[in-house]
């Protein structure tokens, strides 16, 4: 088993764990964390897919992950703010 395959497997496992938490957990914070773990799995998979077997790595997935991290951070911030706003209105 190659190292890249191991990374990809870990990425898939993180995705599955995050998705399960997103659906099964009831608290907002747990769901937001689940979503983030899911995203991390996807990033890991994308970065792993960029490896070029000793040749130059594919820069397109790297750029996508960079964009994805920023979007994930802002989505998390908004989700936390929404969760807080919901607590306030209860």
Partner 1 sequence: MPKLIKRCLPVLVGAGAVALGALIAAAWVRTQENGGAMTRAVLEALPDSGVSNPVTAVLLNFRGFDTLLEVAVLMLTLIAVWALDLRLPRTEALPPSPVFSSLLRFSGPLLVVIAGYLLWVGASEPGGAFQAGAVLAGGCLLLRLAGRWNPGARFVRWAVSVGLLVFLLTAIAMPGLTGGLLQYPPASAGMWILLIETAATVSIAAILAALFVAREPEGPRR
Shortest distance, position 54 Cβ to partner 1, whole Å: 12
Residue 33 lies near partner 1 (rule: CB under 8 A): no
- Measured distance CA(11)–CA(87) in Å, rounded: 33
Residue 6 lies near partner 1 (rule: CB under 8 A): no
- Measured distance CA(80)–CA(61) in Å, rounded: 28
Q: In 3-state terms, what secondary structure has residue 68?
A: helix
Residue 29 lies near partner 1 (rule: CB under 8 A): no
Question: What's 2's DSSP letter?
Answer: -
Residue 55, strand partner residues: 52
Shortest distance, position 39 Cβ to partner 1, whole Å: 13
Q: Let me know: does 21 contact 39? Beta carbons within 8 Å.
A: no
Shortest distance, position 26 Cβ to partner 1, whole Å: 12
Residues that bind partner 1 (CB under 8 A): 8-9, 12-13, 15-17, 19-20, 23-24, 45, 48-49, 52, 55-60, 62-63, 66-67, 69-71, 73-75, 77-78, 81-82, 84-85, 88
């Amino acid at each position: 088993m190659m190292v890249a395959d191991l990374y990809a497997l870990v990425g898939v496992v993180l995705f599955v764990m995050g998705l399960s938490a997103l659906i099964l957990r009831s608290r907002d914070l747990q769901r937001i964390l689940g979503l983030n773990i899911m995203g991390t799995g996807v990033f890991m998979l994308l970065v792993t897919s960029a490896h070029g077997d000793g040749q130059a790595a594919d820069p397109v997935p790297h750029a996508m992950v960079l964009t994805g991290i920023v979007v994930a951070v802002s989505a998390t911030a908004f989700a936390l703010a929404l969760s807080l706003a919901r607590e306030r209105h209860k």
